[in-house]
Amino acid sequence: MSLIADHGFAFLVLACLFGFFMAWGVGANDVANAMGTSVGSRALTIRQAILVAMVFEFCGAYFAGGEVTETIRSGIVDPQYMTPDLLVFGMLSALLAAGVWLLLATIKGWPVSTTHSIVGAIIGFASVGVSVHAVHWGAIGPIVASWVVTPVLSGLLAFALFRSVQWLVLHAEDPFRSARRYVPLYMFLAGFMVALMTVGKGLKHVGLELSGLQTLGLALLAGGLVMGLGIVLLLRIRPTGGADPRGGFASVERVFAVLMIFTACSMAFAHGANDVANAIGPVAAVVAVVQAGGDLELVTRSPVPSWVLLLGAVGIVIGLATYGYRVIATIGREITELTPSRGFAAELATASTVVGASAIGLPVSTTHTLVGAVLGIGMARGIGALNLRVIGSIFLSWVVTLPAGAVLAILFFLVLRALFGA
């Protein structure tokens, strides 16, 4: 405990620096999963996508990031097996390891999972630096299972959504008229889903507590407002197919391009809500240990400070603005050929899956979820529509990331202990 007393301020500074570095990596690399489909379908330009993502990534991270943060902070490592010093060193090493791996992956253009990076790093330091008994293996099981389950669920949801678009709109006798009729319903769904998460799970972190009926009512209201705004925008779009109602597919895709503005917002919000935990979960743990003077009993009960959520949110935004455009274009255009109608289904399916996971405090991989959704879209069109080489490289990165994070964390853990004479 003497190390905490002697170097508490230094630990806080390092936690903030490493956490910001990790959050930057999340914004620079993983944000492609949030906005790539919008750019690839040409619904948004890269500049517009960055602007949208900056706003909604920040809101998701700040207002709804606390639930998952609790899982990362105290759900993976059992504090009773560790001293305060070891817990601080471990969380610092995990942050630095994950941040370094994200930097290397971003330079190489690899869309890796930030969740894999930080969870692998935490498991690595805890298993080798402390003891295998320090790892909450019971909590790891659901997390690992989610990496398999969420792509499947997201793929099935995306498949169902795109099939519904095909049946209700694209294969209709008059696709443009059908688009105007049914797209507002999809807009309502996107607005309702995001609002439900924001009000029900996120706003409690700023002191707003609402009943279940109040939450549902506000979510329904938000969905209705989004739908109303969408209807106004849709009325400004005119068919371009001439006399043949089947010739207006360009106009139909313009309708879905409007819809993708809303799904892009929901996707960015969902990504910020879930993935901010990867950066600030360990920061929150270090802050709690230092503020509690080394009392680990207080660590598990202390709330996540608002300024820690703010640190992660700002880091994600800066990473996105400075380096995110590089991978946004790659992910959006190389996995499969996307149109606004296809991109909408992938984005809404991914956002719904990630938001649901965040609501129950389960850290999932946005990379896995989006790839699963895109695969679902590809299966609805035929497997030949997918770039299997790119998908194979993504799968390979999933395998490499977890052990890479673990090895780097072990290395940095030993270095930090040596530097502070522990």
Q: How far is CA 372 from CA 316, 339, 349, 366, 401, in A?
A: 23, 17, 9, 10, 18
CA distance 33 to 271: 8
Q: Output the pLDDT for position 247.
A: 47
Coil vs helix vs strand at 41? coil
Tell me: the pLDDT tens digits for 87-138?
888 889 989 999 999 888 887 777 777 777 888 888 888 888 777 777 777 7
Q: Output the pLDDT for position 64.
A: 63
CA nearest to 297, candidates 20, 68, 80: 80
pLDDT category of residue 412 using cuts at 50, 70 and 90: very high
CA distance 94 to 18: 9
pLDDT category of residue 12 using cuts at 50, 70 and 90: very high
Q: Output the pLDDT for position 224.
A: 92
Q: Output the pLDDT for position 215.
A: 78
CA distance 422 to 419: 8
Q: Is pLDDT larger for residue 17 or for residue 181?
A: 17
CA distance 277 to 66: 7
The four Cα atoms 69, 75, 76, 82 give a dihedral, to 10 degrees, of: 110
pLDDT category of residue 16 using cuts at 50, 70 and 90: very high
Q: What are phi and psi of 240, to 5 degrees?
A: -120, 15
Single-letter amino acid code for the residue at 75: G
Single-letter amino acid code for the residue at 289: V
Q: Output the pLDDT for position 243.
A: 45
Is 352 exposed, middle or buried, given 0-12, 13-18 or 19+ CB atoms closer than 10 A? buried
Q: Output the pLDDT for position 244.
A: 47
CA distance 260 to 256: 6
CA nearest to 29, candidates 202, 286, 257, 278: 278
Q: What is the mean pLDDT of residues 236-263?
A: 68
Is 241 exposed, middle or buried, given 0-12, 13-18 or 19+ CB atoms closer than 10 A? middle
**Which range has the worst mean pLDDT, 2-16, 28-42, 56-70, 145-159?**
56-70
Q: Output the pLDDT for position 186.
A: 86
Q: Is the pLDDT of residue 203 over 60?
A: no
pLDDT category of residue 245 using cuts at 50, 70 and 90: very low
Taking the model in full, what pTM does it have?
0.77
- What are the strands, taking DSSP E only, across 20-68? none
**In the chain, domain spans:** 2-172+264-419
CA nearest to 92, candidates 412, 406, 422: 412
In contact, 115 and 354? CB cutoff 8 Å: no
Q: What is the mean pLDDT of the chain?
A: 78
Q: Which two structure tokens, joined as six digits, stand for 259?
A: 């819809």
**Which range has the worst mean pLDDT, 42-51, 73-82, 269-278, 341-350?**
73-82
In contact, 63 and 198? CB cutoff 8 Å: yes
**Which range has the worst mean pLDDT, 90-94, 186-190, 348-352, 409-413?**
348-352
Q: Is the pLDDT of residue 267 over 80?
A: no
Q: Is the pLDDT of residue 234 over 90?
A: no
Q: What is the mean pLDDT of residues 348-365?
A: 73
